[in-house]
Amino acid sequence: MKAENFDYSALPQDAFELTHNDVNAHVDRNFASQNYWKDALVRFLRNKGAIFGLIMIAVIIFFAAFGPSMTPYTYESQIIDQQNLAPRIPFLENFGIFDGTETMRLGEVELEVNGYESKGLDDVYYWFGSDTLGRDIFTRVWEGTRISLYIAVVAVVIDVLFGLSYGLVSGYFGGKLDAVMQRCAEILNSIPNLVIVTLMILVLSPGLGAIIVALMITGWIPMSRIARAQMLKLKEQEFVLASKTLGASPLRIIFKEIMPNIIGQIITQTMFSIPHAIFTEAFLAFVGLGIPAPMASLGTLISDAYKNFTTHPYMIISPLVVLALLMLSFNLVADGLRDALDPKQKDM
Amino acid sequence: MKKYILKRVLYSIVAILVLLFLLFLMLDMMPGSPFNDDKLSTEQIEALNEKYGLDDPFVVQYFRYLFSIIKGDFGVSYNIASNVPITDLLETRLPTSIRLGGQAVLLGATAGLILGLVAALKHNTIFDTIATIISVLGVSLPSYVFALALSYTLGYRLGWFPLLYDSTSPFISSVLPTVALSMFSMANIARFTRTEMLEVLRSDYMLLAESKGISGPKLIIRHALRNALIPIITVLGPLIVNTMTGSLVIEKIFSIPGIGELMVRSIQQNDYNVTIALSFIYSLMYIGIMLVVDILYGIIDPRIRLSKEDNHES
C-alpha cells in the first residue's frame, strides 16, 4: 500500500493514542538554567524563618520611625508623680490584661497594685508602662530602637567601605602588600574585640561617636577575610585575564569585573555583621559604657531597668523583647540570604 | 609542621607586644598624673618624676613597663581596693571565672552535641525543627537575655535557685549563670554537629560500615560522630570569645566575684590600672587559646595547614 493513496480520514478516532503526554514527560526544572536573582528570590521566599525575620524587621522599623510620635510624651519628658506605672493599653484593659495592674511581692504576701487607680489617673495610658523617673517606656523603647538601627546602618557602611575594599585590594595585588595587610589584620584580630572596644571608649568619652569608632576598628575584619578569599579564587579566571589583556585598570577589574561575582557573599556577610554590631552596643551599655542619659538605646534601657527587674519586670521586658526580636530577625534573614544566594553552602 | 607552629608562636608574641604597646599608650593618654596634689611644689614634682623615671623617653618607659608586666606586676588598684596590688585581687577572682567559664563550655558542649545528634538522626522531623529553633535562638540572643529570663522565672518566681552567687554554696548558686552562659556554645555546637552529621551520614563509608553489619550506637558513635567532630575545632574560637564577653555581663547580673565583674566595676569606677591589667589578662588568655586551637587544627587536618600556607605565599 502506497502512502500517498492512503485515506487518513477513514481511520477511526481512537486509532492513535497520545503517548509522552505532559503527565509522564520529565521536564527538567531542577537543573534548568535560571536567572540567578530570580532563583535566589524563590529560595529565599521558601524560607519561613527568613520571611518572619523580614516582616519583624519591617514592623520594628515602622515603630522606630513613627512610635515616638504616637504618644503625647517625648523620650526625655518626666512626669514626677507618674512613676512606676505598669503597662496600660486602651481596649485591651477591658480583658484584664494591660490594665495597669502589677503584682507586688512583699515577702510572702502578694499584692495587686494599680498605680493608675490609686493616683486617679483615669485617662492616662502608658502602653509599655512608665519608668522610675516617670518617663514613657513606649517612647523610649522606640527611640532606643532608632539608635540600634542607626548602628546597624553604620555596621553596613563600615563593612562595605573598610572590610570589602581591604579584602579585595589585599587579595588582588597579592605579594608583599597582601602579606603586610594580612599580618596587620591578624594581629588586630588576635586582640579580643571586647578589650579594644572598652579601651577605645575609655579614651574617647562614652557616646554614640565612641561606639561607632570602636565598631570601625574591629567590625571590618570578617568581611575583609571573605572578600579576600573570594578574590583569590576569582582573580586567576579567564574573564579577568581577558579584561587585563584589554587594558582595564586594576580598579575597574576589582570593582566592575570581580565584585559583581561575589555580591552574594558580600550581602550575606553584611547581614551577619548587623546583629553583631547591635549586640556590641547593647553589651557596652550593660557594662556602663553606653550612650549618656537622657538619650536611650535598647542597651541602656535594659541596663537601667535591670536594677529593679524583680519589682517592676515590665520595665525590662519591652526593651529586652525588642532587642531580642531585632537580633533574631536579622540573624534569620542573614541565614535565609546565605542559603538563597549561595546554595553550595546550604545547611552550614 | 615545625615551620607552621613557629610562625604561629611568633605572631602571638608580636600580638602581645603590640597589645602591651597599645595599653601603655592608653595609660599615657589617660587624663591626670600620679602626683595630682596642690601641696606639691614644682621642685617636688620634678623630684618625684625623676624618682619614678617619668622624665625618661617614651621608649625607655615602655620597656620598663613591659618588664614589670612580664614579672607579673600590674601595679595597684586606686578606687576599688585602695593600694591593693592587682595580683592580690586576681588571686581569688581568676579561679572563680575560669571555673564558671569551664562549666559553661562543658555544659554547652554536652547539651549541644546531644541536640545536634538528635536533630541529624531525626532529620526533617519535629525534633529537628525544635533543635533548629533552639540553636537559632541561642546564636542570636545575647546571653543576658537568657540570664534575666532564668533568674526571673526559676530564681525569683519559683525560688528554685538563688538570684545571686554565694561563695559558700558555689554549685547551686552557679547553676543559673552557667546555663545562661552556655547557651551560645550549646547552640553553636548543636548547629555544627547537625550539619556535619548529616554530611557524614550520607557518605559512602557509612554505607560500607552498615553493609559490614555494624549498626546501632556503635555505628553512630564510632563511625559517624567521630568523623563529624574533627572540624569542631573551627567553632572553638568564636565560642571562647563569646564565653569571655558573656561572662562580663553574667558575672554582673549574678554578682559573681570573678574577673568579669571586676572589669565592669573598674570601668564604672575609672580604675584604669585594673581595667588595663584585666584587658591584658583577657587578651593573654585569648591569644593563648587561639594559638593552641590553631596548632591543633594544623595537626588534625593537614589540608588546613597546607591551604593556609598557600594563602600566605600567594
The count of CB pairs under 8 A between chains A and B is: 120
- The reported pLDDT for the residue numbered B44 is 77
Chain B's closest residue to A200, CA to CA, is B26
B261-287 core/surface letters (b: 16 or more CB in 10 A; e: else): bbbbbbbeeebbbbbbbbbbbbbbbbb
Q: For residue range B179-209, what is the model confidence (pLDDT) as tens digits? A: 888 888 888 888 888 888 888 888 888 788 8
Q: What is the mean pLDDT of chain B?
A: 79
Measured distance CA(A19)–CA(A25) in Å, rounded: 9
pLDDT, tens digit only, all 348 positions of chain A: 455 667 777 777 777 777 666 665 666 666 666 677 777 788 888 888 888 889 989 988 888 888 777 777 777 777 777 666 777 776 666 666 666 677 766 666 677 777 667 766 666 777 777 777 777 778 888 888 888 888 888 888 888 888 888 888 888 888 888 888 888 887 777 777 778 887 777 777 777 888 888 888 878 888 888 888 888 888 888 888 888 888 888 888 888 888 888 888 888 888 888 888 888 888 888 877 878 777 788 888 888 878 777 777 777 888 888 888 888 888 888 888 888 877 655 443
> What band does B27 get if pLDDT is binned at 50, 70 and 90?
confident
- The reported pLDDT for the residue numbered A94 is 67
Choose, out of A194, A195, A278, the residue to mutate when testing the contact with B (most B CBs < 10 Å).
Answer: A195
> What band does B314 get if pLDDT is binned at 50, 70 and 90?
very low
CA distance B268 to chain A (A): 6
Asked if B177 and B254 count as a contact pair (C-beta separation under 8 A), the reply is: yes
- Within 8 A of B287 by CB-CB distance, chain A residues are 190-191
CA distance A323 to chain B (A): 8
- The reported pLDDT for the residue numbered A180 is 85
What's this model's pTM, rounded to 2 decimal places? Answer: 0.78
0.85 surpassed by complex ipTM: no
Q: For residue range A123-145, what is the model confidence (pLDDT) as tens digits? A: 677 777 777 777 777 888 888 88
- The reported pLDDT for the residue numbered A105 is 67
CA distance A324 to chain B (A): 6
Peptide bond into A294 cis (omega under 30): yes
- The reported pLDDT for the residue numbered B307 is 47
At A291 the three-state DSSP class reads: coil
Q: For residue range B110-151, what is the model confidence (pLDDT) as tens digits? A: 898 888 888 888 887 888 888 888 888 888 888 888 888 888
Give, as one character, the DSSP assignment of residue A103. Answer: E
% residues pLDDT > 90 (chain B): 0
Taking residues B154-159, report their average pLDDT.
Answer: 77
Asked if B190 and B116 count as a contact pair (C-beta separation under 8 A), the reply is: yes
| Chain A residues whose C-beta sits inside 8 Å of any chain B C-beta | 49, 174, 178-179, 182-183, 186-187, 190-195, 198-199, 202-203, 229, 232, 275, 279, 282-283, 286-289, 302, 306, 309-310, 313, 316, 320, 323-324, 327-328, 330-332, 335, 347-348
In this predicted structure, which of B67-71, B104-108, B259-263 has the lowest mean pLDDT?
B67-71
Give, as one character, the DSSP assignment of residue B224. Answer: I
- The reported pLDDT for the residue numbered A100 is 66
Asked if B112 and B193 count as a contact pair (C-beta separation under 8 A), the reply is: yes
Q: For residue range B75-102, what is the model confidence (pLDDT) as tens digits? A: 777 767 767 788 888 888 888 888 888 8
Task: Give the helix/strand (H/E) hosting A112.
Answer: strand A109-114
